[in-house]
Amino acid sequence: MLKATLIKPALTVAFVSVLSAMPGRAEEKTLRIGMLGALSGALGEAAGKALSTGARMAVEEINARGGVAGYRIESVVVDAGSDIVGAVEQTERLLADPSIDLIVSNLGSAQCAAIAGAVDAAETFLWLTSCTASGILRDKNYRYVFRPHIDSASHAEMACRYLGDVVAPALDVEPAALKLAVVHEDGAYGSGLAEDTEVACEALGIPIALMDLFPTGLQDHGPIVERIAADEIDVVIHAAYYPDVVRFVRKLEGAGVSLAALIGQGGGYSHIDQLEADLGTVAVNYLSNVDPATVQLIDPAALTPEQDAVVDSFVARWRAEEGPGEIPSHASTGYNATWVLLTEVLLRATANHGGSGPDAMRAAALEIDIPEGGTIQGYGVKFAGADSLVPGQNTRAFPVVMQYHDGETHIVWPPELATEAPVVPRP
């Protein structure tokens, strides 16, 4: 059953959706989660809607199964828009509501960076389903902020290893001879990925020939494409939101620039159906994307039987609501992160630590020890502790390299999860 209440804050409009299943019994307890979502604006199309939909579906599935440890889950979903002001304002509203037990963020990196310190200082448990920029957690020493998702360092490492192990040999050159450009949007998401990519690639002996940045929403990517052509770039690693990806690829095509590989780093590359609709099949064929795996692409043999069953339930819900087509990786991420929160952290907190308060949830999160194959996206879960540079980061999260062609996405790297061999250079 879906109940909705309209909240009208000073700067944004937020919708509160209470997601519940069957009527609860008298002894049933309720856990109220503040679900921050980037549901409107550029981030909504790039990732926010898919993340929030995946998270909502996980709550619905949990409630349909009777809840967790005697708790029925209520999600208070608020639209923080796509800017920092909206994120801060809506976070303050949630923190001021004494009925909110914890906060889940389905926001972008810049938004998460702006709210994490305040939530931690308020001693409220904060669960980041996405927000890849490593700087959100690096050297912050937060106690109550946890990210089960990959960070930009693991993102960058996977992209650079793919260049060294796959792209360079396919082009019959040494990694040091690759002519690499890193092109990124200038916010926390793109800048974090660019910084970590520079470190990871240079550690593998892959120099960056061109580092270029642009503001999100840039209409003319022509000057960037001209610099790529002038430097005779082989490979571009691109961190951009949708529709900046569309504008960039159109400029490449229009200028006749042929790249051996165009590698996206999540963001707008995670919505391949939209890209194909806007650009056409030829333009998107053999684009690559580094991101956590979309669940329907993973070989069931790579997962535990329990997680394979969770994949089936998620895909069934998605198909019933959204229809056919690619399931965005952000939707898988939102579902996966919320599933781990409820079935692992909350369950352990109530069983081992006396409840669902922030200290109980923190202790439970630090106890989790899930091996590879133990989540629907293939990776495990083990959070870094206070002695780490990135306390609260899932150290077992990793992305994969996916490649799209002829209407289908395939995992092409790493080899242990690949469902098809990579094609390099792009035909």
Give the residue from 54, 154, 32 showing the smallest Cα distance to 106: 54
Structure token digits, residue 340 = 């781990």
Q: How far apart, in whole angstroms, are the C-alpha atoms of residue 179 and residue 169?
A: 14
402: Cα separation from own chain's centroid: 14
Give the residue from 198, 189, 191 showing the smallest Cα distance to 159: 198
Residues 276 and 323 reside in one and the same domain: no
Residues 227 and 264 reside in one and the same domain: yes
Residue 242 falls inside a structural domain: yes
DSSP 228-250: HHHTT-SEEEEE--TTHHHHHHH
Residues 127 and 255 reside in one and the same domain: no
Helix (H, G, I), strand (E, B) or coil at 289: strand
Residues 212 and 227 reside in one and the same domain: yes
Q: For 147-278, where are the E strands, in sequence order?
A: 180-185, 208-214, 235-239, 261-264
Helix (H, G, I), strand (E, B) or coil at 204: coil
Residue 53 falls inside a structural domain: yes
Q: How far apart, in whole angstroms, are the C-alpha atoms of residue 388 and residue 100?
A: 29
CB 390 within 8 A of CB 400: no
Residues 13 and 143 reside in one and the same domain: yes
Predicted pLDDT of residue 270 = 86
Residue 205 falls inside a structural domain: yes
Predicted pLDDT of residue 131 = 93
132: domain CATH number? Answer: 3.40.50.2300
Residues 131 and 53 reside in one and the same domain: yes
Predicted pLDDT of residue 27 = 61
Residues 324 and 187 reside in one and the same domain: no
Predicted pLDDT of residue 273 = 85
Residues 233 and 112 reside in one and the same domain: no
Residue 386 falls inside a structural domain: no
Residue 168 falls inside a structural domain: yes
Residues 267 and 347 reside in one and the same domain: no
Residues 89 and 167 reside in one and the same domain: no
The CA angle 313-418-375, to the nearest 5 degrees, is 35
Residue 395 falls inside a structural domain: no
CB 15 within 8 A of CB 90: no
Q: What is the CA radius of gyration of the chain?
A: 21
CB 124 within 8 A of CB 142: no
Ordered per-residue pLDDT tens for the chain, 427 residues: 222 332 333 333 333 333 333 344 446 799 999 999 999 998 888 789 999 999 999 999 999 999 998 999 999 999 999 999 999 999 999 999 999 999 999 999 999 999 999 999 999 999 999 999 999 999 999 999 999 999 999 999 999 999 999 999 999 999 999 999 999 999 999 999 999 999 999 999 999 999 999 999 999 999 999 999 999 999 999 999 989 999 999 999 999 999 999 999 998 898 888 899 999 999 999 999 999 999 999 999 999 999 999 999 999 999 999 998 889 899 999 999 999 999 999 999 999 999 999 999 999 999 999 999 999 999 999 999 999 999 999 999 999 999 999 888 999 999 989 999 999 999 9
Residue 374 falls inside a structural domain: no
Residue 193 falls inside a structural domain: yes
Residue ranges making up the domain that contains 206: 153-291+400-413
Global pTM value: 0.90
Residues 257 and 158 reside in one and the same domain: yes
**Tally of structural domains, the chain:** 2
Q: Are strands 102-106 and 71-79 parallel, antiparallel or unpaired?
A: unpaired
Residues 280 and 408 reside in one and the same domain: yes
